Amino acid sequence: MKPIRIGLIGLGWVSTHRHLPALRRDPRFQIVGLADRHGALAEQWARKFNVPHHCAAERVADVSWLDQVDAIDVVTAPMAHHALIRDALRAGKHVITEKPFAMTVAEGEELVALARAADRRLAIVHNFQFASSTERLLADLSEGRLGTLRSIVAFQWGNPQRRLPTWYDELPAGLFFDESPHLLYLVRRLAPSPLRLLHVDSCASTTGHRTPASVDASYRAQTPAGEIPVSVSCRFEAPLSEWHVAVLGDRGAGIVDVFRDIYLRLPNDGLHDTARVLRTSWRASALHWARHFVNGPLHLSGRLLYGNRTVFARFAQSIVDGREPDGIGGSDALDVLRMQHQIIERVEGRASFS
């Protein structure tokens, strides 16, 4: 088939270090143009990656090369997503976008309906579900290696001193709105049934920011053996930045270290005697360092793309097939956006449980 001609709007760190490298490695795409509100930045990256067109633009209408592309990749701050996606779809372009794809559920519903009415594909970059670590966990679940499912636990620690976007505290619940989609789509993918939200607890920032110090959400998922607990826990004022997702079964635990893209499968330790404790320590250490030998060089060289190549491959295939991309379509984006707002309403005291 002919390459899909694509252009990017927004050239921040995620765009230049994740999207552009993933697109350049996929022969199904041809990068035609780059746009950013800072024209010099668009020119700089266009020259670096030998992209033929660039321009300064904050709106789709301002993109000088729009008629030369089939698809638009939206990688701006979340506040700008809705208008850019809407206008790109109205211009007849397929769209892939960073999360969250809209600020409100109503905006999300509008975009999903517009994409369907225009017969254009809309995809969202929910990439960590396709990272090698998550795929290993999913394979163990599918093969029954963890045994009967007992619970799912996801937690995030965030060091406020790490690289963060300048605009995050303008969002509803601040950084939670920008980062929580990753944990939410992961537990949604791992759970055996739709998740039912039971309870949300949060603690306000101790440093005067809009981002809470903590957010904890408790869910239930249905299994053939009954309901199991699913929890999402975020700490935004931590001394370390760590994201982990664990699936606990009666035969063992599958643990994903999201940032390092490392997967550990640890067996049931039974009586928890000294021999079994040492076995767990040895296995965890060996698996951890074995994966570091694989992922470390990729991380240092900027080639560890955390599932982004699969995301863009699915987007390309959806354009060819004329179907919503599996796992990253508009309906998936809308489900996760609804999960976010369910939590935020309770964090901000605008809703309560009976």
Task: List pLDDT tens digits, range 307-316.
Answer: 999 999 999 9
Mean pLDDT of 137-156: 97
Mean pLDDT of 81-88: 98
Task: List pLDDT tens digits, range 263-275.
Answer: 999 999 999 999 9
Mean pLDDT of 62-85: 97
Q: Tokens 């976008």 map to which residue?
A: 97
Q: Which of 66-70, 81-85, 233-237, 289-293 has the lowest mean pLDDT?
A: 289-293
Band (pLDDT 50/70/90 cuts) for residue 301 is: confident
Mean pLDDT of 318-336: 97
Mean pLDDT of 179-190: 98
pLDDT at 228 (0 to 100): 98
C-alpha span between 104 and 107 (Å, rounded): 5
Task: List pLDDT tens digits, range 191-217.
Answer: 999 999 999 999 999 999 999 999 999
Q: Are strands 122-124 and 226-235 parallel, antiparallel or unpaired?
A: unpaired
DSSP string, 1-51: -PPEEEEEE--SHHIIIIIHHHHHT-TTEEEEEEEESSHHHHHHHHHHTT-
pLDDT at 300 (0 to 100): 75
Q: How far is CA 34 from the centre of its chain?
A: 23
- For residue 287, pLDDT over 80 is answered with yes
Q: Are strands 149-157 and 226-235 parallel, antiparallel or unpaired?
A: parallel
Q: Judge residue 332's burial from the number of C-beta atoms within 10 Å of its C-beta, 0-12 exposed, 13-18 middle, 19 or more buried.
A: buried
User: Percent of the chain, pLDDT > 90?
Assistant: 93
- For residue 354, pLDDT over 50 is answered with no
Task: List pLDDT tens digits, range 22-59.
Answer: 999 999 999 999 999 999 999 999 999 999 999 999 99
All domains of the chain in start order, with CATH = 4-127+306-335 (3.40.50.720), 128-300 (3.30.360.10)
C-alpha span between 143 and 132 (Å, rounded): 16
pLDDT at 218 (0 to 100): 98
pLDDT at 353 (0 to 100): 39
| Stated pTM of the model | 0.95
Mean pLDDT of 7-32: 96
Structure tokens at 68: 């030369």
113 vs 352: which has the higher pLDDT = 113
pLDDT at 352 (0 to 100): 43
Mean pLDDT of 137-166: 96
pLDDT at 350 (0 to 100): 57
